[in-house]
Structure formats: C-alpha cells, structure tokens
Amino acid sequence: MPNAEGGQREAAAPPRKTLIVLAGFALAGVVFAGVSSYDFIAHLDRQVHAITCSIVPGIGPKDASGASGCHAVLMSPYSSVLRELTWGGIPIALPALGVFAFLLFRAIDLLWRKRLLRRETQFMIAAAALPVLTSIIYAIISATQIGTFCKVCVGIYVASLGVFAAAIVAHVRAGAAEADPSGKSSSLGLWAFYFVEGVALVALPVLLYLVLKPAYADSLLRTSGLRHPEDKYGVMLDTRGGGQVPAIEVLDPLCPACKSFSERLAASGLGEQLQVKYVLFPLDKECNWMVNESLHAGSCAVSEALLCAGERANAVLSWAFANQDDLRARGGGSQSAVYARIKQVFPELAGCVGQPAVRARVNKSLRWIVANSLPVLTPQLFVRNQKVPDEDTDLGLDFVLSRVLAQGAAAEVRR
C-alpha cells in the first residue's frame, strides 16, 4: 500500500515531510530560545536594555519601559536557576536552546536516512516531551504567579508542542519499520548514545555562558550606607518580620519594579533573614516635589493609606501591589478616584487618608530621603546599613544579597 508521504511502507522510507515539519518547529524553538537568552544575557552588563517582545522576533517595537509581559517574566524569580551560585543565575532559555538544537540535529539526521527505525522515532517522542512538559509548567507559572505571558515564551510553547506532535506523527508513519535487520545494536544502547549526545548539546551553551558572562567584582559590594538611618521623623513602617538582620527598603507602592523586587526577594528565601522596615518614596508629583511628572500616579494616596494602616500595612501593601495597574489608571485621572477606591476596600482608613496629619508624614518621609541624599529611584535596599547596588535588585539579587548577608555575619563574628 502506498505511503501517504511517498514510497511504499514496505520500503520503510522516512516520513520526510513530517520530519521537515519537525525540523521547522525545532528551528523556531532555537530562534525563540536564542532571543530570550540574548535578552537575559544583555542585562548582565548592569544596564537596562530594550527587549524583544513579539511572537515574531525582531518584528515590532522593542520594550524599553518594562511594561511588557516579556520584561515581567525576565525580571521574575522564575527566569533563571542557581541564582545564589552564580551572578544572575542560569537562564532557563539557555538549556532550552540546547534542547531545540538537539531536536533539530536529530530531525536533520533522520531526514538523511534511507530507512527509519521505530526506536529512533520513539526516542524523538521522549526527547520532545521534555520541552512540552517544561512549557506546561512555565505556562502555569506565568498564569498563576507572574500574572502575564511573554510572547517570546509563547513562541517557545508553540514550538514545543509542534515538535512533539510532529514526532508522534513521524512515529506512526514509520510504523512498518519495526526491527533492525542487522541486529547489531539494542534500543537501550542507541537511546544511551542519543541521550549523551543531547546532554552534550545542552551543556555546551550553558558552559559557554558561565565562562564568557561578565564576572562579578566584589568591589561593587563596597557601597556606602545611609547617613542618617535613624527614624527621627517616625516614618518607617515596621513589617514585623521574623528575620534578625536589620534592613531598610525604600519603595513606591505603585512601582512595578518594587512589586517584582518583593516577589524576587520572597522567592529567594533570603528575605526570611531580614527584619525589613519600609520608607515610602512615592514618585508622584501630587506630593513629591522632587519629580516634575508622576511616574506612578496615585502613589501619594496609597502611601497615605500605608501610613494610616498601622499593623495592617502589609495587607494594604499586598493589595496595592496586586492592583497597581488599576490604581495608577485611577491616579492618572484624579487623586479622589484613588481615595475612593481605598475607602471602599479599607473603610477603616476613611477618616485618615487625605487628612493634613498623614500628608505631613508623607512629606517627612520625603525629607528622610533628602537627608540621606538618595537618588530618585525605587526600590532601594540597605542591609545592616550597607546598600545593595541598585543594578543588583533584579537578576543579581540572590547572588549579591547572599554575599552581603555572609559578609555581615562574618563581620559580627570578628567583633
């Protein structure tokens, strides 16, 4: 009976059209994973770069504002692993690049064959299942933990599913070629050879990355502390955390970078060692004379709510982080819309927000910022009055903060 893709089934000819489709999806995976890896690595020069966030890499405007889903995923705790062992960690997209390169190589290799063995297509299914499983896990994380999707990541998900589906079709169409007539090699031996081959292709880009990426200079940790860390204005919010290491975090409650920083700190596990006090720095011209334009409209009103909340400040901050887009949109219209929303959700604060007393406290918080000559920037973190470099509050946080904590512990032992 003729094979639908040319040739006779008895001839065991490889299903070439299907393998070409498989190779195409694998190539797409290489491109998407490569773009994602490049964007991650670019940020390791301690500068902020515009990143590609398009389902067709290179097409469309690049995101320089940090508002895209791609930026949110890049700066999330889930974009890399082993962050405490190496500065920035190893980007997840890098081993994905190796996996897709291996699948592309295997597809091209099978295309050159005169016949196809079932155990070869079985291995392709097993190998293609890895990126599919990883894609499912990361899609769930994006939906439930990050709250947005990266278009480049979606491209990787589609490529993974395409490779897996094509591998299954290739296996079905190669069904007549079940045995190796020579009998010279076992399925286990062949699979072991392919597995080692795949591991080598995955390890190569990871090793090159570790060897070639910028080294972290310990001199960067010798940063100055606060001139006046004491709370003489009475503006610090005590989180009452369980940690023992004193820390001060300067934040704007409607700052996306502050929200991402909070998530990274929690995911790292290092935040459990800190006893953090917050100093509010709303980058909103409604109350902040240091900015000409509101970077985060509405943050003055939300800062007042935090100061009014007392022991419930953590609950108000969590709510503000979860509703940043809505609150900034309301703030762009009028402060009264933000006040109305706060009073609706936290009616017990209605008699406090908007009043002269709490507005004076926000003003004193800004004076604390000026007294310590801090830049107009959020977030900022000081641990034992040693500043964590601003450039390392994103991808390098785990690595740098673990070193700051270790240095402080060693200094206390020497005393």
Give span(s): CATH 1.20.1440.130, the chain.
Answer: 9-212
Give mean pLDDT, residues 382-405. 87
pLDDT band at 363 (very low <50, low <70, confident <90, very high): very high
Q: Which fold has domain 221-414?
A: Glutaredoxin (3.40.30)
Which comes out higher in pLDDT, residue 342 or 176? 342
Q: Which fold has domain 9-212?
A: de novo design (two linked rop proteins) (1.20.1440)
pLDDT band at 205 (very low <50, low <70, confident <90, very high): very high
Residue 260 has pLDDT above 90, yes or no: no
pLDDT of 67 reads 66
pLDDT band at 59 (very low <50, low <70, confident <90, very high): low
Phi-psi label, residue 217: left if phi above 0, alpha if psi -120 to 50, beta otherwise = beta
Segment 280-326, tens digit of pLDDT? 999 999 999 999 999 999 999 999 999 999 889 999 999 999 999 99
pLDDT of 267 reads 87
pLDDT of 49 reads 67
| Percent over 70 (pLDDT), the chain | 86
pLDDT of 2 reads 45
Residue 111 has pLDDT above 80, yes or no: yes
pLDDT of 132 reads 96
Segment 219-253, tens digit of pLDDT? 666 667 888 999 988 899 987 677 889 999 999 99
pLDDT of 367 reads 95
| Residues near 190 by beta carbon (within 8 Å), at least 6 away in sequence | 119, 120, 123
Residue 232 token pair: 């003489």
Segment 1-32, tens digit of pLDDT? 444 444 434 334 668 899 999 999 999 999 99
pLDDT of 48 reads 64
In terms of DSSP bridges, do strands 237-238 and 90-91 run parallel, antiparallel, or are they unpaired?
Answer: unpaired
Give mean pLDDT, residues 161-170. 95
In terms of DSSP bridges, do strands 237-238 and 245-251 run parallel, antiparallel, or are they unpaired?
Answer: unpaired
pLDDT of 60 reads 63
Mean pLDDT of all residues belonging to the chain: 86
Give span(s): CATH 3.40.30.10, the chain.
Answer: 221-414
Residue 333 has pLDDT above 60, yes or no: yes
Residue 178 has pLDDT above 60, yes or no: no
Nearest-10 Cα torsion for 282, 287, 293, 299: 40
pLDDT of 130 reads 95
Residue 379 has pLDDT above 50, yes or no: yes
pLDDT of 183 reads 47
pLDDT of 63 reads 63
Residue 184 has pLDDT above 60, yes or no: no
